[in-house]
Chain A
Amino acid sequence: MTLLAPAALLLAVVAVPIVLLYVLRLRRPERTISSTLLWPHVVGDMQANAPWQRLRPSILLILQVLVVLGLVLALAQPVLSRRAVVTKDVIVILDQSFSMRARDAAPTRFATAQARARAIAAGLSSGSVMSVIGMSSQPHLAVAESSDQSAIDHAIDVLAPESAAPNTLAALSLAASLAREGERTEAIIFTDHSSGIKALPLSVPFTVTIERIGGVRRDLGIASIDVSGGKKTSAVVRVHNYGPAPATSDLDLFADGQLADVRTVSVPPGGEQAEIWDSLPAGVRVIRAHLALRDSMTADKTAWAVVPASQQRRVLLVTRGGYFLQTALSLQPGVVLQTVDPASYSLSKTRGADVVVFDGVLPHRLPGAPALLVGPPSGRVDGIRVGAERRINSVILASQSDPVMRYVDLSDVHVARARSVSLPIWMHVAARAGTLSLVAAGQLGDERLALISFPMSDSDWPLRVSFPIAMRNLLEYLAPSTVVTTPAVNTGSPVEIVPPSGTRTLQIVAPDGSTSTLRPPFPPFTVTQLAGVYRVETEPPSASGVLFAANNFSRQSPDAPGPDTIQVGRRSAGIGRVVPASVPIEWAFCALVVALLSVEWWVAFKR
């Protein structure tokens, strides 16, 4: 038998006053009577205290001392260690904060915590269950109330440190919800000295043991990296010293994989130093910074940044001078408009263009880029046959669900004439008037094509609000762009990716080459545990590829000294090693105490 809290044995001194009560004569009021002849026969052992100044054997004294000893032993938390068995429900909370990556507890603090958690799972007795909670910024339940060791091990193994600060309150709330009614539960938080967890932010109905792994780490890390593009590329790298001693290291800067500069940084304990580069080459996409120093932490030695790329569309407008269309296209954000007369148009001029717009022109061949035909003359190109003009007398109907007609209201639009068109099977009608197709779009292979079957001069559409919206939709459809709202994130943080309309899937290629696929409605991408540069690819492919970087930036706290193990909650605070593979038997002593009290009561009042 092992005592987890042997200091409680000191409480055995409370037995001394009880013995004294039997040894010392109590000051009772004296009453002289004629004879005590009859009293000894009825008093017997009813006396709470024997009237003797020397200790006499008394069953009450023995029982009361045994009660005290039983309570003291129960408070000392006795455990049987003959078999490594846990006889209570266990909730293991693994701190996934960044500092758990430190290697001062080999191989890392987090790996050590995982090993200890697996040891607890291995010692789980029958009838006991174990839950595992990953304590990150958003704690999650890895496995709930399971007695399957393989399932528990798997849940422990898939957890990994993140960069965000741990949310202890949420993790304990989650743990409290797992405590089974009437079952003895113990929660164990595996964390480190950096987390600063010493007490509980809320009251929980079970014992919580805080095991702090590792010691005081030495860590000189990159705290942030910021870059900007333009004519020159600039970069700012901040280096922070989280360790207790000054640190010096070479800081290497790479531009698109090429070493651009090396500087030496010296940072005092708790201090920070910023290095600025403002003349890096233009057109650089990825900047990487690296600290050469080797210390307790490796994860924050390298950081990446993606230089923001300009979201520009080059639009080639083939027109004889259509004012409305030219104006609408030129006002679209990010559009670089180039106008060319139909007479001088050739396929070679379409090279480099993201979209080619034919205004009143029907080319002999469609260009190798997405194209928009507006008011084409009669003729035929790539399966599209443009017929004669017809007057329009019916109402114009638009499909709001079509990405081309999204937010486009054509109810106030009037079109005098439109040509009849015969569309290929790969094109669909987005707006029509009777049997006449007014707006159509489609995709053949990798190229997209859209068509407006009437010239702007035969309609009042350019005067309506819906016209620039429709132009925006058409450009997005023909040359979709992918937008990453947060091009630089901490590892583990979600990334919101807004793909162009019509995108069926998003594939995100991680730094290790693994891919993840997102489908509509494209929820935030959360698998950003690896630091590095992620590449986003769309299906169908968009005009330009998108990159974003994930780094191990974290607001870390220095390691604080203190005991490795803290017990809080139902039991009094104390320091001691957790013996997860032991059988607590304080319940047996509590039951013994109850039994002894019952006997003592019977002896005192019934016998």
Chain B
Amino acid sequence: MTGTIPLWDFDPQFLRKLEHVALVSRHPVAGPSTGPRRSTRHGSSAEFADFREYAPGDDLRRVDWNAYARLDRLFLRLFTAEEIATLTIFLDHSGSMAFGDPSKALMAARLAAAFSYVALFGHDHVAVAGWSDAIREYLPPQTGTQSVPRVWRFIARLMATPAGRTEFSSLRMGGPLRRGGGLALVISDFLSDSDWRAGILALRAGGQEVTVVQVLAPDELRPDLAGDWELRDVETDASIEVTGTSRLLREYGERLGRHLDALREFCRAHRVGYVLVSSDERLEDTLLQRLQSAGIVT
């Protein structure tokens, strides 16, 4: 896939709605600094905990103007009951993400952009890791709404040219990246014979609260294949000749169902959030309704 992914065609009204959406943590998280969620390190106290120096992008409402009057320096007030979390978006930019109409890469990029927008507006830090057979691109945690363009540009550049082979073992590097906890959002099509279970467990072992968003194209969910074809895998270059028949498509559907059930069941067993997204869905519906229904955002 070439060209720039049109990340900035979000409807302004949709963005305003996103500003009122927050990521849901199913349990207290340990983050790098205070923020709008509870900390696992400071107990359940809602009292003032500390100050830190203001950084561009911080919410001005948290500035301690009294300290500014006394010290002529900007400090932010931090409370023990709230801690800032880092959302790390593990974005699959392997070659298979380029397919679909609209492409899975586009949907993944828009999802990542929307999540980062929600996180940054929720005073969380956002990091982005682009991975295929390894984590090739990494955007360190960004904070503040002023970081939205930077994050979006990174995502757009990352997903403009999907390439490489999906290798879930590369997610094991995600644990060390964010050792110490946080939120992890893994966006992928999960169409790989590599061990995705090990990848997810590696993130969980790193203290990440993992959410999986599986993006599939409509042709992968409901293939329309008739006649004789030679199917070629864009990542492995393997090919297979098939003759499209109703029975063949029925067999494929059953096989796909088993594959999705396995992933869904694994996520449920390991307290990993899971949602399946078709690349032709409207993002507003996906983010505001399906992800809310799944308890991933509020």
User: Which residue numbers of A lie inside 8 Å of B, CB to CB?
Assistant: 26, 28-43, 46-51, 605
Contact yes or no, A35 B235, CB < 8 A: yes
Chain B residues lying within 8 Å of A31, measured Cβ to Cβ, are 229-232
In the assembled complex, the CB of A33 is this many whole angstroms from the nearest CB of chain B, namely 5
Which of B46-54, B82-90, B203-211, B249-257 lies at the interface with chain A?
B249-257
Q: How far is the CA of A49 from the CA of B97 in the complex (A)?
A: 30
On chain A, the residues within 8 Å of B235 by CB distance are 34-35
User: Quick one: CB contact mask for B231-253 with A, threshold 8 Å, 1 for yes?
Assistant: 11111101111110101100110
Q: Does B228 belong to the interface (CB within 8 Å)?
A: yes
A37 engages B230 (CB within 8 Å): no
Number of A-B contacts (CB under 8 A): 100
Which among B193, B234, B247, B259 is the interface contact of A33 at CB below 8 angstroms?
B234
Nearest CB in chain A: distance from B167 CB, A:
13
Say yes or no: A46-B234 contact (C-beta < 8 A), given A30-B239, A37-B193, A38-B255.
no
Tell me which of A29, A38, A46 contacts B259 (CB under 8 A): A38
Shortest CB distance B96–A (Å): 4
CB-CB under 8 A from B259, the residues of chain A are 37-38
Known: A28-B230, A31-B230. A38 touches B241 (CB 8 A): no
The yes or no answer to B217 lying at the interface (CB within 8 A) is yes
* Binary flags per residue of B155-166, CB closer than 8 Å to A gives 1, else 0: 000000000000
B-chain residues with CB within 8 Å of residue A39 when the two chains form the complex: 231, 240, 242, 252
A51-B241 contact given A30-B232, A33-B233, A34-B189, CB 8 Å threshold: yes
Q: Which of A29, A34, A35, A40 has the most CB of B within 10 A?
A: A34
Give the distance to chain A from B264, nearest Cβ to Cβ, in Å: 16
Which chain A residue lies CB-closest to B235?
Answer: A35
B274 within 8 A of A: no
Per-residue contact bits, chain B 248-278, to A (CB 8 Å; 1 contact, 0 not): 1001101110010000000000000000000
- Residue of B at shortest CB range from A33? B231
In the complex, A50→B234 CA distance in Å? 21
CB distance from B55 to the nearest CB of A (A): 41
Partner of B238, one of A34, A36, A38, A50: A36
B243 in contact with A46 (CB, 8 Å): yes
Chain B residues with CB below 8 A from A50, complex form = 241
Interface centre among A26, A28, A37, A43 (most CB of B within 10 A): A37
**Separation in Å of the B58 CB from the closest CB of chain A?**
41
9 pairs, CB–CB < 8 Å, chain A vs chain B:
A28-B230, A29-B228, A31-B229, A33-B233, A35-B192, A35-B234, A37-B259, A47-B243, A51-B240
- State A34–B215 Cα separation when bound (angstroms): 12
Question: What is the predominant secondary structure among interface residues of chain B facing chain A?
Answer: mixed
B19 beta carbon closer than 8 Å to chain A? no
A36 to B95, CA, bound (A): 13
List residues of B (101-125) whose CB comes within 8 Å of A's CBs: 104
Contact A32 B241 (CB under 8 A): no
- Give 16 A-B pairs besides A41-B255, A51-B240 with Cβ atoms closer than 8 angstroms: A26-B228, A28-B229, A28-B230, A29-B227, A30-B231, A32-B233, A33-B220, A34-B189, A34-B191, A34-B235, A36-B232, A37-B192, A42-B248, A42-B254, A46-B248, A49-B241
A293 CA to B255 CA, complexed, in Å: 95
- Does B99 have its Cβ within 8 Å of any Cβ on chain A? yes
Q: Please determine whether B230 and A51 come into contact, CB atoms closer than 8 angstroms.
A: yes
Q: A34-B189, A35-B192 are in contact. Are A47 and B232 (CB under 8 A)?
A: no
Minimal Cβ-Cβ distance residue in B for A49: B241
- Closest A residue, CB atoms, query B104: A34
Q: How far is the CA of A231 from the CA of B255 in the complex (A)?
A: 116
Known contacts A33-B99, A35-B235, A47 near B217 by CB under 8 Å: no
Given A29-B229, A41-B255, A47-B241; A34-B248 close (CB under 8 Å): no
User: In the complex the two chains form, is B248's CB within 8 Å of A43's CB?
Assistant: yes
Tell whether, in the assembled complex, residue A34 and residue B240 are in contact, meaning their CB atoms are under 8 Å apart: no
Docked pose: A39 CA to B225 CA in angstroms: 12
A28 to B227, CA, bound (A): 10
Q: A233 vs B86: C-alpha distance in the bound complex, in angstroms? A: 145
Residues of B within 8 A of A35 (CB): 96, 189, 191-192, 233-235
Nearest CB in chain A: distance from B227 CB, A: 8
When distances are taken between beta carbons in the complex, the residues of chain B under 8 Å from A33 are 99, 219-220, 231-234
- How far in angstroms is the closest Cβ of chain B from A25? 9
A37's contact among B100, B191, B227, B247, by CB below 8 Å, is which? B191
Q: Assuming A28-B228, A31-B231, is B255 touching A36 (CB within 8 A)?
A: no
6 nearest CB pairs, A to B? A34-B96, A42-B251, A35-B191, A51-B241, A34-B99, A36-B233
What is the bound-complex CA distance between A34 and B242, given in angstroms? 16
Among A30, A36, A47, A51, the residue within 8 A (CB) of B236 is A36
